[in-house]
Amino acid sequence: MSLELRSLSQQYGSLRALSDVTFQVEDGEILAVLGPSGSGKTTLLDLLAGLTTPVSGEIRMGERTLSRPGYALPPEQRNIGFVFQDFALWPHMTVSQTVAFPLTMRHISAHERNARVAEILSLVHLDGYGERYPHELSGGQRQRVAIARALAPHPAVVLLDEPMSNLDARLREQMRMQIADALRHEHVTAVYVTHDRMEALSVADRIAILDEGQLVQVGTPEELYRRPRSAFVAGFLGPAALVPARVLVADHDRVQIVTATGVVASAAAPPSCAPGQEGEWLVRPEHLQIVEDAQNADVLLQAHVRSAAYVGSHWQLALELPGCPGLELVCHHELRIDPQADVSLSVAPERTWFMP
């Protein structure tokens, strides 16, 4: 079932929590809502769940209106599943009883109920755990129970509120794909609220980024990472150096630019770019490589190593560029390079992005 938000706004006193938010979630799509604390994510989730009504705009599910000013269809009538941040499992119920609860409330027969509970527990890899209580489960297992409960009654939409914030880093990595696989297996439309960019990038079909109550960009993970429309989006999705630059030649979706360092390079760009236009050249760690033989490199930057940190698979170097005070580049390298050293960087310009 598709979900549509039309010019949605919410206000608490003088605080504008959401402002004119419009986007659509397609049937069976996983849309991540990503943003920092205070960006409006929780407000958006409350509106979708029917806990509050908007001051303007509309929420629709298929052909049905869920919310508009002064009206909100009650949560229990929306056919929406909810996965809470703290899982919200009842301590006196077993896993099977917890997953069966929404089916019982819908007066599903015992035979159908038992079959569905067995099916959904198998889907989330909890076969054999039906008689256990929450205190007998690990954090990852409790999370899977919460997901199973939300999916059991075949909801049209599932809302997930920071579902992995209470798990450690190792469990979060394990659970990302399990959550996505379960949602896609059930072909359920999902809105996944998070402040963790890695969750959003790895789980979602598309990402909607909020900042201070405004929708700043919507797109696939790759589109937003490689083609951000603003410095905020670029930096929020990963390490990003934004080098001041000016367009020399524009050719549809590619430009030749000159940067503040004097380097001339080509880059992908919006089709609207024109010669003389100023902007920023987005360079990410994977665009850079430290080279010994500078003569064979197409585009070179000279940089100064400010610090080096070992992060397991590589050394992460923080670099400064001459002529760009305050700008820091991040580069990955297999060997440690001493701070204060000067290095030559080869840039893969065809993968970089000019942002007007």
The one-letter amino acid at 347: V
pLDDT averaged over the chain?
93
At 296 the pLDDT is 63
321 and 350 inside one domain: yes
Least confident of 48-57, 110-119, 255-264, 270-279: 255-264
CATH number at residue 23: 3.40.50.300
Whether the pLDDT of residue 298 is over 70: the answer is no
Give the pLDDT confidence of 209-248 residue by residue, as tens digits: 999 999 999 999 999 999 999 999 999 999 999 999 999 9
215 and 276 inside one domain: no
Where does the pLDDT of residue 295 fall: very low under 50, low under 70, confident under 90, or very high at 90 and above?
low
Give the pLDDT confidence of 268-287 residue by residue, as tens digits: 999 999 999 999 999 999 99
156 and 16 inside one domain: yes
Pair of tokens at residue 1: 């079932």
Least confident of 172-181, 295-304, 309-318: 295-304
Per-residue 3-state assignment (H helix, E strand, C coil) for 146-164? HHHHHHCCCCCEEEEECCC
Give the pLDDT confidence of 70-87 residue by residue, as tens digits: 999 999 999 999 999 888
Q: Domain boundary at 190, 213, 231, which?
A: 231
At 119 the pLDDT is 97
By the 8 A CB rule, do 260 and 236 touch?
Answer: no
Angle of the 139-151 helix axis to the 95-105 helix axis, nearest 10: 20
Rounded to an integer, the average pLDDT of 324-331 is 89
Give the domain range for residue 345: 239-355
3-state SS class at 92:
coil
Q: Any bridge partners for residue 60, and if so which?
A: 4, 65
CA-CA distance, 296 to 299, in Å (whole number)?
9
52 and 190 inside one domain: yes
Where does the pLDDT of residue 297 fall: very low under 50, low under 70, confident under 90, or very high at 90 and above?
low
| DSSP one-letter string for 159-195 | EEESTTTTS-HHHHHHHHHHHHHHHHHTT-EEEEEES
Residue 85 has what DSSP assignment? T
CA-CA distance, 42 to 18, in Å (whole number)?
10
Phi, psi of 250, rounded to the nearest 5 degrees: -120, 130
Q: Domain boundary at 231, 264, 297, which?
A: 231
CATH number at residue 336: 2.40.50.100
208 and 251 inside one domain: no
Rounded to an integer, the average pLDDT of 340-349 is 88
244 and 192 inside one domain: no
Count up the domains in the chain and report the number. Answer: 2
208 and 287 inside one domain: no
12 and 155 inside one domain: yes
20 and 131 inside one domain: yes
Q: Domain boundary at 187, 213, 231, which?
A: 231
225 and 249 inside one domain: no
188 and 252 inside one domain: no
At 261 the pLDDT is 85
45 and 172 inside one domain: yes
CA-CA distance, 192 to 208, in Å (whole number)?
10
Whether the pLDDT of residue 102 is over 90: the answer is yes
Whether the pLDDT of residue 100 is over 80: the answer is yes
157-161 and 80-83 as β-strands: parallel, antiparallel, unpaired? parallel
Rounded to an integer, the average pLDDT of 338-353 is 88
pTM for this prediction: 0.93
